[in-house]
Amino acid sequence: MRLLIVEDNERLAGLIAEGLGRRGFICDMAPDLATAEDSLAGAEFDAIILDLGLPDGDGLAWLKHQRALRQLVPALMLTARGGLEDRIAGLDAGADDYLVKPVDIEELAARIRALLRRPGPRAVSVLESGPLRFDPVTREARLDDRVIDLSRREADLLELLMRRLGSVVVRDAIENALYSFNEPVTPNAVEAIVSRLRRKLEEAGLAGQLHTVRGVGYMLRSG
């Protein structure tokens, strides 16, 4: 699950990103609304964590505008304003949930998982390819009901390939999906994750479905 944290308090954004990162989320940070728009244009996110007071505008007004323009993934507002009127205004503007600062990471993670379980513009449903199933919320992969033990990045890769089943996913897109903008990526990191995932799928009994398209990327054939 990839999240965009729109928060101008660098320290708070860092703490949230680190806390959620340890709980299996991939987090990108945007310190203002302009950066948030660039990030949303450049990558797919599963949810947005949105501060209200940002240097280049009001998070709530921005959210209302974005929602009018297009279908947007679920947004959770972070606010120092805990008054009833502010909360109602937030939910009216299209926020799916809100949390009053100071933020408890455990609660934030639970709220996000709940948001992603809700039906919405991108309802999270279990991905399937023949006997292979992947649950984007629990991050569990199963083959004929047997759990395949995957690392966080292997699970992220499998999810990406299953979402684009039968199509080639270019190497850069995989790197962008598996690593956030500020994370160092070693050469051949993607290749190494692909080989490990391929081996685990083979060991589970699913051989020959994760294809390398030389010089381009990778593809999962439907089972």
Report the relative pairing of strands 75-79 and 47-51 from DSSP bridges. Answer: parallel
Q: Which stretch binds Ca ion (CB under 5 A): 8-16, 89-97, 118-126, 192-200?
A: 8-16
CA atoms 58, 61, 66, 72: torsion sign = positive
8 contacts Ca ion (rule: CB under 5 A) = yes
Q: For residues 217 and 171, is the Cβ–Cβ distance under 8 A?
A: yes
51 contacts Ca ion (rule: CB under 5 A) = yes
| Between 57 and 205, CB nearer to Ca ion | 57
DSSP for residue 74: -
CB of 116 to Ca ion, least distance (A): 24
Annotate each residue in 186-205 with x if it binds Ca ion (CB under 5 A) or - if it does not, as one string: --------------------
Report the relative pairing of strands 146-148 and 210-213 from DSSP bridges. Answer: unpaired
How far apart, in Å, are the Cα atoms of 145 and each of 80, 99, 157, 188? 44, 36, 20, 32
| Between 10 and 202, CB nearer to Ca ion | 10
Annotate each residue in 53-92 with x if it binds Ca ion (CB under 5 A) or - if it does not, as one string: x---------------------------------------
Cβ atoms within 10 Å of 96's Cβ, excluding its own: 22
Binding residues (CB under 5 A) for Ca ion: these are 8, 51, 53
